[in-house]
Copies of this chain bind each other. A is one copy, B any other.
């Protein structure tokens, strides 16, 4: 999916309540030890066409089972989310708790239980404090808000070790009607391709075919959320849920619609923005790393190489140290498990060429140091000579703070 930005407009400050029909809320119910929000909801005023993608981990948390069940008919009207506790590896009680969470939210919001998705994130293996959850859910309806305030409270409620909230909003014309797409996401550790400790929620007011929405979500995810890695770990709880209210007044979107490509590009933009925001906010990160691979035998090979490079602890440490150590980059390229012609590799750091045809280029170390120290986003470009395959992956540097954060997460 290439993103042709000319076809849509980014709305600065836009949020998940910008698309018509959505309100949201968040509050602190007691699952987190701090006073930060830990319970949130997104509500659509009508049953929305919905789609989702889930973690590929063999172990899947209880909320995922419940959400899959709710989504079986392709419709959702609300998503209830908590942070502070993942409700994973919690057995039958955990499953019962996830069902109760769904029922309580449905009752409080006055919607059909089968139209409520449940998402949880946080510590694994501890039962949810259901008294907190119950009283929290009861308090949500009065806080529902269709403006920026409601979105803000919700965004805060889904964060764990995240330092910043991640939001994005775009507008695109469909048959002459303005359609809005927005998203919010969380995740900063246990982030790896194929849905990591990541929760993502997208809203749109587009009227859209359900199967085409699911298909678009999957396609967009593959080149965005599935191309980020913070630490190579994939969580038990990841999901990305999207709801389309259909209230924009547009002609119904299908993949055959003249404006499908524009909508898909706008949708993918939101996914990419959120994915990059997660990578940039990786635990302990000081920099976003973007790895662009081209000339691979095919796109899948390029993707494998991009993810191997951006996931290499040695590359990540070198970037943290502003060390133009391309030896680690080429070593990572070479172990990605895909064919590469070893004698024909070009590597650049930003605009600075460091390797040409697999031979070191004499470059200005001062210039490289300056680039690596001053830039907010380190771009590593690798050009192979094996075909037309290309891919981009995103990650972050490996820092003392990553170790500090993860050496004592539970304490």
Q: Are B406 and A314 in contact (CB under 8 A)?
A: yes
- Given known contacts A57-B335, A58-B333, A58-B340, A323 and B232 CB-to-CB distance under 8 angstroms: no
| Interface-facing stretch out of A11-19, A266-274, A352-360 | A352-360
Listed by A's residue number, 21 A-B pairs whose Cβ atoms lie within 8 Å are A58-B333, A60-B342, A89-B327, A124-B331, A125-B355, A126-B360, A189-B314, A190-B328, A232-B312, A233-B332, A236-B330, A313-B406, A318-B409, A320-B407, A321-B411, A323-B408, A323-B410, A323-B411, A325-B410, A400-B400, A400-B403
Which of B89, B124, B320, B335 is close to A58, meaning CB atoms less than 8 Å apart? B335
- Min CB distance, A338 to chain B, in Å? 9
Q: Are B411 and A313 in contact (CB under 8 A)?
A: no
With an 8 A cutoff between CB atoms, is A115 at the interface?
no
With an 8 A cutoff between CB atoms, is A326 at the interface?
yes
Interface residues of A in 362-411 (CB under 8 A from B): 398-400, 402-411
Interface residues of A in 230-270 (CB under 8 A from B): 231-236
Binary contact readout A26-70 vs B (1 if CB under 8 angstroms, 0 otherwise): 000000000000000000000000000000111110000000000
Q: Are B233 and A190 in contact (CB under 8 A)?
A: no
Q: A410 — which chain B residues lie within 8 A by C-beta?
A: 323, 325
Complexed CA–CA distance, A46 and B74 (Å): 76
Complexed CA–CA distance, A404 and B236 (Å): 31
Complexed CA–CA distance, A359 and B62 (Å): 13
Interface residues of A in 280-317 (CB under 8 A from B): 311-314, 317
Q: Are B233 and A328 in contact (CB under 8 A)?
A: yes
Complexed CA–CA distance, A408 and B360 (Å): 19
- If A59-B334, A236-B331 are given as contacts, then 8 extra A-B residue pairs at C-beta distance below 8 Å, sorted by A number, are A59-B331, A59-B358, A89-B330, A89-B359, A232-B232, A233-B313, A321-B408, A402-B403
Q: Are B330 and A124 in contact (CB under 8 A)?
A: yes
Q: A325 — which chain B residues lie within 8 A by C-beta?
A: 409-410
Q: Are A314 and B89 in contact (CB under 8 A)?
A: no
Which of B317, B331, B358, B411 is close to A57, meaning CB atoms less than 8 Å apart? B331
- Min CB distance, A151 to chain B, in Å? 30
With an 8 A cutoff between CB atoms, is A123 at the interface?
yes
Q: A330 — which chain B residues lie within 8 A by C-beta?
A: 59, 89, 124, 236
With an 8 A cutoff between CB atoms, is A88 at the interface?
yes
Q: A342 — which chain B residues lie within 8 A by C-beta?
A: 58-60
- Given known contacts A233-B314, A314-B189, A335 and B400 CB-to-CB distance under 8 angstroms: no
Q: Are A57 and B313 in contact (CB under 8 A)?
A: no
